[in-house]
Chains A and B, each alone.
Chain A
Amino acid sequence: MILNMGPSHPATHGTLQIVVELEGEKIVRLDNIVGYLHRGVEKLAEKITYHQFIPYTDRLNYVSCFMNNVGYTMAVEKLVGIEVPERAQVVRVILSEISRIMDHLVCIGTNVVDLGAYTPFLYMFNVRENAYDLLEEVCGARLTVSYSRVGGIARDIPDGFEEKILTFCDMVEKTLKDVEGLLDKNRIFLDRTRDVGVIGAEDAVDYGFTGPNLRATGKKWDLRKDFPYLTYDRYEFDIPTRDTGDIWARYRVRMEEMYQSVRIMRQAVKDIPGGRFISDDFKHVLPDKEEVYGSIEGLIHHFEQIIHGIRPPKGEVYASVEAANGELGYYLVSDGGRSPYRLRIRPPCFIYYQAFEEMLKGHMIADLIGVLGSINIIAGELDR
């Protein structure tokens, strides 16, 4: 029997189409068809300035937007060679970790809902709501934050930011303990997740897996440790791994990663350095408003940035961040003009989604949803 699922189906959490060939309830063959959310972001980038592309990055992985901003701005910074003030770097780390927690909460929350557990979903979305409030206070927006800028961040952090982060950290830890209490020894959950959707470490690397899904196969590889960026090399944190490579392993890795994110945030808020939150290299950065209204140089810089934008040197750069799903990379090719000659986004989930058939062959049709939820496919990033 051939069964079609999607492109619009509540359990895919996005517009994905999956065509499965079944023998009884067993999956024999599977074709996952993508592209329903394709907007042509890479094409659009070739016509607009480097600054103007920042909001488009929010729409890639819309569950953890801030990390996409950071990855893109890091690529542009590398291209033009600006130093980012430490204050901005530390704030970027903190907000990236909040985004990672939000992403993992959504991933696990929706995954367990699909497997029949409703309460953990509510617990997790409750704390996610607090994360959104926190982001709103800092960035002015809840979902699409567009907070990172070339050279720093859009505006300074509000007063009392540190205490709010610490409260949030406590709340996350409490929620995680509650969820673990509900799930970790739950017979139904264990039966549905253990030895389901298994992929081995070697296959995973061959398929281009990165992020928590790779670490669930036992490979200890994390860009925050292995290619350190921002100020991650200053903080103490572990890279949680599991060996089994099944849904259970992916669930555990994501849970433990959230504890580690909390650990990083606690260390980072302890000393947020003072100084500017954005670089003062006004050839590449919008000047402060007082400068624009108060001095002729400021006004000229402002016009230059708005009308022409950045004109980087010719060349190519690749910058990547450890996003919640894995390595999110931006490959920028510049011909010296005001817009990128080519911008390539390396989306983590597009690359590992091709192993979906391999992970599911021989499993039951009911496992499909569990595996799909556990690898966390975000359609905005998948189709770009």
Chain B
Amino acid sequence: MIMDVADKSLNDLKSVLGKDAGEVKPALDDIPTLEIEPMAVVKALRFLRDHKEGDFDLLTDLTAVDWLDYPESGERFEIVYLLCSTGKNHRARLKTRIPDLDPRIESATSVYRTANWLEREVYDMFGIKFDGHPDLRRILMWEGFEGYPLRKDFPTRGYGPVERTPET
């Protein structure tokens, strides 16, 4: 099998992280994917951004998946980072799992500024807190909204009609 550059950068990352990283596997869409420990995320992102051959300068997407229905698969919340290199045209994906109780992870805003709103959205929709985020407020829902809509235990129809009361 020919190992392309994205694979190679992820393998380099794996050897740097040691036991904090799993195996590099291609997902269904052939994007190489690496699972890492949550404490290592910012270090990993910085490593990939500054990696000479990988050159992942664009954080395409940052999102979360709530695995509440599949407790056997590991911790509840999965954070997914999709990276892209605009110079070399390849992609890579980093994933990490964080537990249900007081979910928090270090913010990626120090590495990619685009993480700012993306993390605010994840906070808004899943209630995951990002330590070191400059401005962690709700973004799509309003301040004072209760619950986190994209969690699997949030009903699709919500908890009945809600009224936005003007702030005093």
Select which of A210, A227, A317, A341 is within 8 A of B27 by beta carbon. Answer: A317
Q: Considering only CB atoms, which chain A residue lies closest to B89 in the complex?
A: A226
Determine whether the beta carbon of B114 is less than 8 Å from that of A206.
yes
CA distance A137 to B37 in the complex (A): 53
In the complex, whether A275 has a CB less than 8 A from a CB of chain B is no
Determine whether the beta carbon of B61 is less than 8 Å from that of A316.
no
Shortest distance in angstroms between B158's beta carbon and chain A's nearest beta carbon?
9
In the complex, whether B40 has a CB less than 8 A from a CB of chain A is no
Determine whether the beta carbon of A313 is less than 8 Å from that of B28.
yes
CA distance A219 to B69 in the complex (A): 43
Determine whether the beta carbon of B29 is less than 8 Å from that of A318.
yes
CA distance A350 to B125 in the complex (A): 15
In the complex, whether A363 has a CB less than 8 A from a CB of chain B is no
Q: Which residues of A contact B63 (CB under 8 A)?
A: 331, 344
Q: Which residues of B contact A344 (CB under 8 A)?
A: 61, 63
In the complex, whether A78 has a CB less than 8 A from a CB of chain B is yes
In the complex, whether B156 has a CB less than 8 A from a CB of chain A is yes
Among residues 316 to 359 in chain A, which have CB atoms less than 8 Å away from a CB atom of chain B?
316-320, 327, 329, 331, 333, 335, 341-342, 344, 346, 350-351, 353-355
* Extra pairs beyond A351-B117, A354-B114 (17, CB < 8 Å): A34-B140, A35-B141, A38-B141, A42-B150, A43-B150, A46-B156, A79-B28, A205-B58, A206-B112, A210-B58, A316-B27, A318-B91, A335-B69, A341-B69, A350-B117, A351-B118, A384-B140
Interface residues of B (CB under 8 A from A): 27-29, 31, 57-61, 63, 65-66, 69-70, 80, 82, 86, 89, 91, 93, 112-114, 116-118, 121, 125, 138-142, 149-150, 154, 156
Interface residues of A (CB under 8 A from B): 34-35, 38, 40, 42-44, 46-47, 78-79, 203, 205-208, 210, 219, 221, 226-227, 313, 315-320, 327, 329, 331, 333, 335, 341-342, 344, 346, 350-351, 353-355, 383-384
